[in-house]
Amino acid sequence: MNFSDKCKCHVDSCRFCWMCHHICPVGNATGHERSTPRARALGISLVNRGAIELSEIMDNIYECAACGGCVHECVTGWDPVMFSSEVRLEAALEGVLPAYINTLVEGCLDTGNAYGKTELSAELAVAIAAHSKKTDTLLYLGVDAMYMAPELAVKAIRVLEKAGVDFTVLADEPASGAQLDFLIGAAQEAKDQMAKAAAVINEYETIVADKQEDKKYLSLKWGKLYRPEEWIALEQFYEQMTGSFDIQTAAHFDYLKMICKTSLKMNQAIDCGDIEGFAKLQKAYDSLMKSAKFTAAQNKAESGEFVDSVGELVYLCEEQGFIPRFHTDEPNDIVDITLKDMQGYAYRLVTEEMGLGNMIEAALQQMQREEEKEEGDLDESDEFLNPELAPVLEDADYEDYYGELEAQQQQDEQNMNGDAE
């Protein structure tokens, strides 16, 4: 396969990683592991190693919606969308595209859109005709709005009309090449469509376009319950926080998004006079900041002023080389001499005065000799240590033993009787 080195590197890094497993909307919708970025990377890796054919994984490759959610959430910077797009291009060049993809590609080449449509709705055609005159501003609707959602295209025209903007809408609007790029990657046909669209667009000073990619990105990142101005506020605070703190782990990014949402709700609560709601949100905000450890010590601007770990302390000590164990660059003063004298006195007191040193040494030697003697006394011939050497008792031994007991008992009785008389 003619995959680029960059593609191979990203594939090998993603094929056994589950960190974006829960992010993929297609994987969440189908509930299938094969629909996740990791599974696509694993399939591409097998193709690259000659284990399977490229045609065997193409259905799986086209399950990628290219939304970029996995790319945005990846803290290590890998790009599953990139290698999926490159594989689509390779499949187009080798002629192994699925039949349903070929149909869409042919529609893009023949009519400018994957749907194969050429006629506009009656309402949209009338709205476009009213703005056919060329001006300095072009409203670029895009093929999705023109052919699949004409009511949205009409609403976009009405918004600019109410804003008093003098603008132009093209009935024969050129395809942007985005659909072809999605289907077959950066193929020459996609580049040609992009070049033609650019040539037309460049004739206007101002371009008004509805960029669906931004909406997809923001709705995926923050949720669909926010208005555009709220998305902007969330993004601004998010960028400010990432610029202020050293955020690296997935957990910290997750905390940051919750903090941004809470901050937005706090502002809304204070603006509408909901003091009680603001107080509750403030507690939640402070708790999130504390849990995420977004403190002054973690702040990038102030990080140099804090040493909150042994590792940082060692780094500071070693930054300019190892610190000498003793400070010997200057001659000894009275303090150094006094310390040395005290150390010498303690040494002499233990080793010389009153023979303490000799006494200690003699005591240690005596303890060693006693231990050696005890070990020597433990003779293996001792019957208490070696039961096999103990004498064997015979029946006569038992008879003698009990005879002695009986004689002793009789003697004790005689003694007692004598004492009684």
Binning pLDDT at 50, 70 and 90, where does residue 301 land? very low
Tens-place pLDDT, residues 48-78: 999 999 999 999 999 999 988 898 888 888 9
Tens-place pLDDT, residues 101-134: 999 999 999 999 999 999 999 999 999 999 999 9
- Residue 220 near residue 231 (C-beta atoms within 8 A): no
Q: What is the pLDDT of residue 418?
A: 66
Q: How far is CA 126 from CA 116, 158, 170, 175, in A?
A: 21, 12, 12, 21
- Name the strand (E) or helix (H) holding 124: helix 122-129
- Nearest-angstrom CA–CA distance, 405 and 121: 130
Tens-place pLDDT, residues 359-394: 777 788 888 888 887 766 655 555 555 555 556 667
Q: Rounded to 5 degrees, what are φ and ψ at 247?
A: -100, 120
Indicate the domain borders of the chain: 5-97, 111-215, 226-305
Tens-place pLDDT, residues 130-175: 999 999 999 999 998 999 999 989 999 998 998 899 999 999 999 9
pLDDT at residue 327 is higher than 90: no
Q: Rounded to 5 degrees, what are φ and ψ at 194?
A: -65, -40
Whole-number average pLDDT of the chain: 83
Q: How far is CA 339 from CA 97, 120, 350, in A?
A: 86, 99, 17
- Residue 234 near residue 260 (C-beta atoms within 8 A): yes
- Nearest-angstrom CA–CA distance, 72 and 19: 12
Tens-place pLDDT, residues 173-210: 999 898 999 999 888 999 999 989 888 988 998 888 86
Assign 244 to helix, strand or coil. Answer: helix
- Angle at the Cα of 154 (from 156 to 123), degrees rounded to 5? 170
Q: What is the pLDDT of residue 147?
A: 92
**195 is written with which tokens?**
């070049």
Q: Rounded to 5 degrees, what are φ and ψ at 208?
A: -110, 120
**344 is written with which tokens?**
């010498």
Integer-rounded Cα Rg, in Å, for the chain is 45
Q: Rounded to 5 degrees, what are φ and ψ at 168?
A: -120, 145
CA dihedral 399, 400, 406, 407 (to 10 degrees): 150
**213 is written with which tokens?**
């990619």
